[in-house]
Structure 1
Amino acid sequence: MGNFGDDLNPWLWPKLLPDFFNDDSSELLVGIGTLLNHRLPNDKTLHIVGSGVGYGQLPAVTDKWKVHAVRGPYSAKALDLDPSTVVTDSALLLRNVMEPTHKENGDIGFMPHYLSCRSADWENIAEACGFRFISPEWSVDKVFAEMAQCRLMLTEAMHGAIVADALRLPWKAVILGDHVNQVKWQDWLSTVDMQYQPESVPNYFYSAGTSSVNAIKDEVKRQLQSVGFGKSWYKPKPRNSSAKVRSDVCSQLSAIANSAQGELSGEAIQNQLILRLNQSLDALQA
């Protein structure tokens, strides 16, 4: 798929529920991601485990919904669900299959939102900053391997933070563009008794200044993809950055990294949430 949060689903759920997935197409597991919207089918039994609202139109909750857990209180309120359905994002279930790991003297990891990866050359900028670039468009296994080499994660991608938190890798939220959905961040963070307090880098969208037809096409596609259109189109070339822009952005990011203490949810809270998610898994298989 090319979006880390979404790609966690086919990686994780077969490990957690090896006997759940079969040829029965009448039931659907709705797990990790901002998936509770109008696109959900209304002709299937939907097992909701840790998903949330945030994109698209709100769906109609029917008797075909089996709500085992939702991502946070905003999601429950938006869908008029009982507060008891609030648990947390189900990516925390990684703890069932992975041990927490990071390097105390490792690198600073840097994960932009996937839309940022389509609009600027963040990999080159991260390299210039001395950071370990981690793309949300890489395979799940590669992302895990790269995160394990880090002591701190600067992440614009919410599931970069959720996974880092689950694996006890200190993280700091950053904002690089105007496409970050802050409500879904706080929906999750409310469940771990934290607040969304990102550091913002001034909007970095630099055009190389060329007026070629291809450059114009790429720019149009960037703009359309930034608002949700054309996800199946080819990925446009990133905008180029000048040496000065790259230097300025590196200075800003390095200052954030140097001052960041790194955030982590409390161990006791996380253990309690893991227990509740595992109870949801038990109910799902009952």
Structure 2
Amino acid sequence: MTKTNLTNTNLNNTNLNDTNITNTNLTNTNLINTNLTDTNLTNTNLTDTNLTSTNLTNTNLTDTILTNTNLNDTNLTNTNLTDTNLTDTNLTDTNLTDTNLTDTNLTDTNLTNTNLTNTNLTDTNLTNTNLTDTNLTNTNLTDTNLTNTNLTDTNLTNRNLTDTNLTDTNLTDTNLTDTNLTDTNLTDTNLTKTNLTDTNLTNTNLTNANLTNTNLNDTNLTNTNLTDTNLTDTNLTDTNLTDTNLTDTNLTNTNLTDTTSPTHNSLTQTSTTQTSPTQTSLTQT
């Protein structure tokens, strides 16, 4: 089926196991409940294709166009999606375990309740993506673009998010325990009720972020930018604030017990309404 034009074809419930469909045009094709296990779909055009409940286990989708494709409830276990365009794709309830998504474009994609366990998302574009209730266990998010992404109720425990762009991202109720957020951009991010215990936020930009009621216990905030950040009701116990910029930061009802103090020139116009700490609670550097 190499280089075949199958535009507008109905392949519902078809068995295409171990088939070579390289360079094929499958635009607007019906592939519902189709078996595509071990199929080679390299450089195939799947724009506007319906792949609902399709089995794509061990399938090669390298350089495939999946724009506006419906992948709802699809099995993509151990699938290669390197350099694939998944813009506006519906991946709700999809199994992407052990999938390679390096350099993939997932802009405006719906990944609600998707299983991304052991998935490689290095250099992936997840701008405006919905990752609500997504399983990101052991997922590699290095250099990933998560701008304006919805990560509500997502588990990001022990993740490597170094150099990740999380600008304007919704991380409400997200678990970021033991996560590496070094050099991460969290500008305008919503981190309300987020668990950041033992998280590394060195050199992170948290300008204008909302950290209301967030747990930052034993967190490393060295050289972090917290300008205009809302830290109301936040727990900063045993937190390292060395060289942290707290300009115009709201520290109302913040717990700063045993916190390492920032330098004096980093405290310009910081809110003085914090109630928990006393001057002796800050270990001067």
Category of TM-score, reference length = shorter chain: under 0.3
Q: Higher strand proportion, which one?
A: 1
Q: Quick check: which has more Rg, 1 or 2?
A: 2
Report the TM-score, using the length of structure 2 for normalisation. Answer: 0.19
Q: Higher helix proportion, which one?
A: 1
RCO (CA 8 Å, sep 6+): is it higher in 1 or 2? Answer: 1
